[in-house]
């Protein structure tokens, strides 16, 4: 967990708290078998002050007033999931709520003075989550989805089930002043994290030495998701293998790119329909 200070226009410094438990930090929050292969159900309760709100993986079940402007938020029991996917955010962020193709709440959160830059993330995320349900022929098992843009978030983004957390630069795009390159970056990161709701969250590796299962599939699917939203970009042609020129290259980038390239090769020689059928069986 980390507490982040941040500012909005014409306001003093504010604070938010957010979790980041991947890969093995859930054990620092509560006693557990902190391995991705072990799954369990969780029921989260968070205590906050009156002028804050909280978020977690599942939908809010109830709020109880305690004393001195403190409140207890209780969340619905989670689906069966790995410990590293448990998440929460406590903040004073603003939000925009939409409805996805299956009638579920889809909400984006960020600083109040940045909220207009979150509209693109809302529309993109809604479209991609519905598309992946059809592509994988596996329903999204949660009743809601939240995406939160956090200043200085340690990871680029995190695919917590039902509560995806992003660095501001990977979720926010200003249509008036933002560049086309930034728009494409935001779209691909959102598509990547939404793909993880299936590859990583629903289907999970036993241990981190099989991380390519999470990252390779999500990196492959991110291009397909963006291609659905922006076919004019031709993103499916952008899946490529990064040439290795030096032994110190980031192994994580190598793993994601190579995994995505191999999966694209398989889809190409098998055909999309056969490949999709095989993925569904797995």
Is residue 93 within 8 Å of residue 112, measured between CB atoms? yes
Catalytic status, residue 193: yes
Alpha-carbon distance 224 to 218, whole Å?
10
> In the structure encoding, which two tokens stand for residue 152, read together?
């200085």
- Token readout for 226 is 């963006």
- Report whether 27 contacts 34 (CB < 8 A): yes
Of the listed 35, 159, 168, 193, which one is catalytic?
Answer: 193
Q: Locate tokens 């500012």: which residue?
A: 7
CA dihedral 69, 75, 81, 86 (to 10 degrees): -10
d(CA 121, CA 73): 26
Cis (ω within 30 of 0) for the bond into 212? no
> Taking CA 145 as the corner, what is the angle to CA 96 and CA 213, rounded to the nearest 5 degrees?
135
Is 192 labelled as part of a ligand binding site?
Answer: yes
Q: Is 53 annotated as ligand-binding?
A: no
d(CA 207, CA 175): 41
Q: Which parts are annotated binding residues? A: 192, 196, 215
List the catalytic residues. 193
Q: Which parts are annotated binding residues for Zn(2+)? A: 192, 196, 215
């Amino acid at each position: 967990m980390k507490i982040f200070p941040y500012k909005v226009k014409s306001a003093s410094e504010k604070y938010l708290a957010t979790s980041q438990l991947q890969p093995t930090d859930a054990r620092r929050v509560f006693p557990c078998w902190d391995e991705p292969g072990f799954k369990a159900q969780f029921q989260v309760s968070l205590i906050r002050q009156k002028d804050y709100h909280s978020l977690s993986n599942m939908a809010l079940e109830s709020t109880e007033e305690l004393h001195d402007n403190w409140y207890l938020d209780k969340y619905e029991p989670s689906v069966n999931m790995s410990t590293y996917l448990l998440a929460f955010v406590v903040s004073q962020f603003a939000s925009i709520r939409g409805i996805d193709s299956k009638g579920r709440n889809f909400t984006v959160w960020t600083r109040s003075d940045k909220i207009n830059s979150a509209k693109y993330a809302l529309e993109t995320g809604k479209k991609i989550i519905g598309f992946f349900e059809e592509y994988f022929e596996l329903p999204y098992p949660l009743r809601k989805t939240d995406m939160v843009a956090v200043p200085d978030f340690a990871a680029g983004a995190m695919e917590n089930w039902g509560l995806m957390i992003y660095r501001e630069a990977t979720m926010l795009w200003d249509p008036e002043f933002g560049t086309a390159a930034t728009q494409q970056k935001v779209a691909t990161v959102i598509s990547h994290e939404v793909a993880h709701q299936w590859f990583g969250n629903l289907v999970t590796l036993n241990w981190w030495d099989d991380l390519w299962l999470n990252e390779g599939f999500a990196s492959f699917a991110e291009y397909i998701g963006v291609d659905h939203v922006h076919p004019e970009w031709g993103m499916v042609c952008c899946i490529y293998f990064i040439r290795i020129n030096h032994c110190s290259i980031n192994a994580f980038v190598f793993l994601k790119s190579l995994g995505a390239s191999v999966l694209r090769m398989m889809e190409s020689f098998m055909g999309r329909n056969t490949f999709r059928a095989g993925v569904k069986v797995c």
